[in-house]
Amino acid sequence: MSQFQTTMISDAERDTRTVRQADRQKHKTDRQTETAWTERALAESYPSTYPEKLSCSTCVCARSPALLHPFIHPRRKPSRGSHSHNTPTNIQHTHTHSHTHTLSLTRPLSSVTMSNSQSWVPVSPKSHFSLANIPFGIISTKSDPTHRPAVAIGDHALDLRAFAKAGGFHALPSVQERIAVFSSPTLNDFAALGRPVHRDVRSYLQSILSDNTPHAGLLKDNAALRKTALVPLAEVRNHLPLAIGDYTDFYAGKNHAYNLGVLFRGPDNALQPNYVHLPVAYHGRASSVVVSGTPIRRPWGQILKDPKAEPKVPVLAPCERLDIELEMGMFMCRENALGEPVPVDEAEDHIFGYVLMNDWSARDIQAWEYVPLGPFTAKNLGTSISPWVVLADALEASKTAGIENTTELQPYLRESRKNNVLGVQLEVDIITASGNKTTISRTNSRNLLWSWPQMIAHHTITGCNLRPGDLLGSGTISGTEPGSEGSILEQTQGGKQTVKLSGGEERKFLQDGDTMVIRGWSGEEGALVGFGEVSGTIEAALKLF
């Protein structure tokens, strides 16, 4: 290599490092700006919740940005003679006689302030879309087919384009130069703004929709805007919330992996040796990810009717062993540079939010094709997701421990935070063509061996660049008890048993006309943080010949 070439490479590397350092500095500045704005905005939005001064027997402390910020927890070691108390907002406030303070939230501000708040919009206690949630989606209406962003509150959608055009965001400084994102046909532009902006917008909308809103004139008392911007959910059409560039499906549900391993390899070899060392995954098909309510056509494919026959010759036929996979999906919001892995403890900053997911699976097609490279056409027939994206902050209070992994992990997978798996209640219903409805599974999303940050860290350890709008799937989530399986394949032991349905019907696998419905939520009635549902109905295979 010539000296000239070496100099060019060195210059290129130096330029790349400069750009990356600038990106990191910008991210740091954004966080500092967010802290300053949060202090102002929450003081305006919740004057009764955040008093100007907090008093105790030792000292009087002026309000701190840390006190008002949901996820920045500065900690300073207090001197001797310190004491603690809880403020009305459950913020632990430690004082010292030398006036050194430690301010840290005992739980996220959103759950503290919103769990006991009511909205002026009617919200049923059992609604998944409480004031504590505020999920984002893309809607259209019969009168206006244009795709545009909205949030769900109770049985209504707040049209963010209409709200923004009417000046609804004028009291939110952090989005003034970015207001166009609320007219975009997808949430990609909004997602790409990053977690601080997502947090700002969600908190602001919570204050707008709160019964004691300090901005009543913007929407609550504005009858004309309410008529155009607040639309019943029954009158909106939902669309894919983001344009999905890439889709990767993980296999993090250890119980599901074990159950299938027992079926195909026996209990002694149920899990492959690599399973506890890394989050296994495959690349799915982004183009066939569809929004809830989209019908799923029974696929054709190559099927080996008799695995014991010799020679092994498949037939081309419609799938006879069509199945579901109960999963959760996660959307990315931040891009990492090609060649730069995302550290596991920084991965949370890359998460936009979550959806429910059904990864439809053609088991008989999969059995023939998956050797040696894994599933292909058995999985690309369709993947259904729920329409409303529940932001990462809204689910912070649901974080819990996942399935324990006693294996010593590689350094890039070791998390500082231990309870880093979502605890979302999940249910699966089957509604047959005759209208009979049966709940066939109840489980919880904590049944994962790997957390979302670990999945991101592993996905990017090679330097793979993830982008805003990329979708990651958790893998099938199954519990350990009967009735907690995330697939029919598990429930029927590979089709050897039947699932008993109401009305006397039975299933070994899905039939034409069957509708599968998945629901998920966390929290308690009155402050549920839920996803609504994801559903899909099986249509008969096309007649190809």
Q: Is 366 annotated as a binding residue?
A: yes
How far is it, in rounded angstroms, from Cα 319 to Cα 541? 8
Spell out the alpha helix ranges (H) of 243-386: 254-265, 363-369
Q: Is 500 annotated as a binding residue?
A: no
Q: Is 400 annotated as a binding residue?
A: no
Token duo for residue 234 = 């029954």
- Across 433-454, b (16+ Cβ under 10 Å) vs e yields eeeeebebbebbbbbbbbbbbb
Place of tokens 């639309």: 231
How far is it, in rounded angstroms, from Cα 542 to Cα 244? 27
**What are the helix and strand counts (H, E) for the chain?**
11, 31
Q: Is 525 annotated as a binding residue?
A: no
Q: Is 359 annotated as a binding residue?
A: yes
Are 322 and 295 within 8 A, CB to CB? no
How far is it, in rounded angstroms, from Cα 384 to Cα 67? 40
Q: Is 249 annotated as a binding residue?
A: yes
Query: Which one of 256, 350, 458, 459 is the catalytic residue?
Result: 256
How many other CB atoms are there within 10 angstroms of residue 81's CB atom?
10
Burial class (CB within 10 angstroms; exposed 0-12, middle 13-18, buried 19+) of 408? exposed
Q: Is 221 annotated as a binding residue?
A: no
Q: Is 370 annotated as a binding residue?
A: yes
Q: Is 379 annotated as a binding residue?
A: yes
Q: Which long-range contacts (CB under 8 A, 24 or more apart) does 45-49 make?
A: 45/203, 45/204, 45/206, 45/207, 45/210, 45/213, 45/214, 45/215, 46/113, 46/207, 47/214, 48/212, 49/88, 49/89, 49/113
Q: Is 246 annotated as a binding residue?
A: no
Q: Is 50 annotated as a binding residue?
A: no
Place of tokens 């910020």: 69
Are 320 and 302 within 8 A, CB to CB? no
Q: Which long-range contacts (CB under 8 A, 24 or more apart) does 105-110 make?
A: 105/70, 105/71, 105/73, 107/397, 108/70, 108/71, 108/393, 108/396, 108/397, 109/42, 109/68, 109/69, 109/70, 109/203, 110/70, 110/202, 110/203, 110/206, 110/393, 110/394, 110/396, 110/397
Residues paired with residue 102 on neighbouring β-strands, in sequence order = 94
- Interior angle at CA 291, CA 259 and CA 427, nearest 5: 40
Are 143 and 110 within 8 A, CB to CB? no
For this structure, is 256 an active site residue?
A: yes
Establish how many alpha carbons lie within 13 A of residue 243's alpha carbon, considering only the half-sphere containing its beta carbon.
9
Give the residue numbers marked as catalytic. Answer: 256
Report the binding-site residues for Mg(2+). Answer: 359, 379, 383
Report the binding-site residues for substrate. Answer: 251, 265, 366, 370, 476
Report the binding-site residues for Ca(2+). Answer: 249, 325, 327, 359
Report the binding-site residues. Answer: 249, 251, 265, 325, 327, 359, 366, 370, 379, 383, 476
